[in-house]
Amino acid sequence: MSSDRASYEIAGTFYRDGSTAQEGATTVIHSIESDATWNASFDVFENDIRVRISGVALWRCHSTVTFLTN
């Protein structure tokens, strides 16, 4: 078993401008990894909000999504 580990907690605010998703603000609440080349982040591609993980082939993601409307 490998001793490599990573853990991230990231909060993001996103909104829709017409039919396109837009990124508001993203905050890294917690970030620790045993390899400095690893990373986790959000990005927007067309109408999708994506969680992007780099540096490792096997990973798990737990997410909570809250929708606010006016």
| Over residues 1-20, mean pLDDT | 83
Kindly calculate the radius of gyration of the chain based on its CA atoms and give it in whole angstroms.
14
**pLDDT of res. 70:** 66
Identify the DSSP state of 70.
Answer: -
**Band of pLDDT at residue 1, cut at 50, 70 and 90:** low
| Over residues 41-66, mean pLDDT | 86
The 10s digit of each residue's pLDDT in 13-50 is 888 877 788 888 889 999 999 998 999 998 888 888 88
Q: Is the pTM of this model over 0.75?
A: no
Domain ranges of the chain: 7-54
What is the CA angle 65-66-69, rounded to 5? 140
Pairing of strands 39-45, 20-33: unpaired
